[in-house]
């Protein structure tokens, strides 16, 4: 019997995913597969889904066994009341490796003070060796798949790495904090803060006027997680007051970031265009194929979303 798999995504995704998905299906032993973008809803067995897809009503997909999200973030779909079948989020080696590289690169940039040498118009010769990684405190807020991977990678550089999450996590080489009191302690240690929390009602404005004031003076903030984790006005005020030293931001409440947004022109803000961890078809297709294989074999899906938690 043919397995009908719908790719629900913008038109430009089709040429990127058609080949890698079909190759991944074959490698997973899924031999009789029909992958397309225009299958009749009542015939669809699985939906491979990009959250910016036009598909919003899942009611007609009466036969579908799961919706397999192509992105790590599920905030755009998790609250959809028409979606009653299992929902998985994307975790794949390429996504994780991309995030590790971006986070480690920007942590090292701030740790070493690279900006002062990259942009030195007066040709000032002012030797000032940075602290060693052993003496620099880095805190990763959000210890899911991506946060844990980044924390472990930073620990290998020798940084004094801590991680904060809702519940206690145990990761070799990383000090764990959790809960409300743990958040306060983690903030006071965060000379460099990396935000990798999900976008939920509980994480909205995690960094606000009160919590920013708890951070060490001159701290650097790196946000490849979600835009709503930061109160933008509070961050700008803290930067202007000289308390926060710099913010490197990859995600925003509105994307693309409006051209007149204060972040663009602020001398203590670096804007990157949501590139920290892009889903790459070569690797994400393997995760999609494995989850479909599991669904067909009656095995638990990987990376199943907890609807009550929102991720």
Average pLDDT, the chain: 96
Residue 289: Cβ-neighbour burial (10 angstroms; 0-12, 13-18, 19+) = buried
pLDDT digit string (tens) for 259-289?
Answer: 999 999 999 999 999 999 989 999 999 999 9
Mean pLDDT of 132-151: 97
pLDDT tier for residue 137 given thresholds of 50, 70 and 90: very high
pLDDT tops 90 at residue 309: no
pLDDT of residue 172: 95
Which residues in 210-239 are b (16+ Cβ under 10 Å) and which e?
A: ebbebbbeebbbbbbbbbbbbbbebbbebb
Q: How far apart are CA 86 and CA 305, in angstroms?
A: 8
The Cα-based distances of 136 to 59, 126, 148, 216, 244 in angstroms read: 52, 21, 18, 12, 16
Mean pLDDT of 244-271: 98
pLDDT of residue 278: 87
Mean pLDDT of 207-234: 98
DSSP letter, residue 142: -
pLDDT of residue 7: 98
The DSSP-derived string for 200-243 is: STTTTTSB-HHHHHHSPTTEEEEE-S-GGGB-HHHHHHHHHHTS
pLDDT digit string (tens) for 22-43?
Answer: 999 999 999 999 999 999 999 9
**Residues with a known catalytic role:** 226, 274
Domains of the chain from N-terminus onward: 3-92+279-297 (3.40.50.720), 93-271 (3.40.50.720)
Residue 165: Cβ-neighbour burial (10 angstroms; 0-12, 13-18, 19+) = buried
pLDDT tops 90 at residue 308: no
pTM: 0.91
Helices (H), the chain: 14-27, 93-112, 114-118, 145-156, 179-189, 209-214, 232-241, 262-265, 281-297
pLDDT of residue 40: 98
pLDDT digit string (tens) for 153-195?
Answer: 999 999 999 999 998 999 999 999 999 999 999 999 999 999 9
Where is 139: in which H helix or E strand? strand 137-141
Structure tokens that stand for 75 in this block: 């905030």
DSSP letter, residue 299: P
Q: How far apart are CA 197 and CA 216, in angstroms?
A: 20
């Amino acid at each position: 019997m043919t397995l009908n798999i719908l790719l629900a995504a913008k038109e430009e995704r089709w040429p990127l995913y058609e080949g890698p998905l079909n190759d991944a299906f074959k490698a997973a032993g899924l031999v009789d597969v029909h992958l397309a973008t225009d299958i009749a809803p009542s015939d669809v067995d699985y939906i491979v889904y990009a959250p910016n897809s036009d598909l919003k009503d899942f009611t007609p997909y009466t036969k579908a066994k799961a919706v397999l999200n192509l992105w790590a973030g599920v905030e755009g779909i998790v609250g959809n009341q028409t979606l009653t079948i299992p929902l998985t989020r994307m975790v794949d080696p390429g996504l994780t490796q991309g995030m590790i590289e971006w986070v480690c690169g920007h942590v090292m940039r701030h740790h070493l003070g690279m900006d002062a040498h990259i942009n030195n118009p007066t040709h000032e010769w002012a030797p000032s060796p940075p602290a060693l990684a052993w003496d620099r405190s880095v805190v990763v807020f959000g210890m899911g798949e991506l946060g844990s991977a980044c924390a472990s990678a930073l620990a290998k550089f020798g940084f004094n790495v801590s991680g904060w999450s809702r519940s206690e996590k145990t990761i070799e080489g990383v000090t764990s904090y959790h809960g409300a009191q743990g958040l306060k302690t983690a903030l006071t240690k965060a000379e460099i803060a990396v935000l990798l929390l999900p976008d939920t009602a509980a994480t909205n404005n995690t960094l606000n006027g009160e919590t920013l004031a708890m951070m060490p003076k001159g701290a650097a903030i790196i946000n490849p997680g979600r835009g709503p984790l930061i109160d933008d006005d509070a961050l700008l005020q803290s930067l202007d007051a000289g308390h926060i030293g710099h913010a490197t931001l990859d995600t925003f409440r509105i994307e693309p970031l409006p051209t007149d947004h204060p972040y663009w022109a602020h001398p203590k803000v670096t804007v990157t265009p949501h590139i920290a961890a892009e889903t790459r078809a070569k690797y994400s297709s393997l995760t999609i194929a494995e989850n479909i294989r599991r669904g067909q074999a009656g095995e638990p899906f990987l990376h199943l979303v907890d609807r009550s938690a929102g991720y």
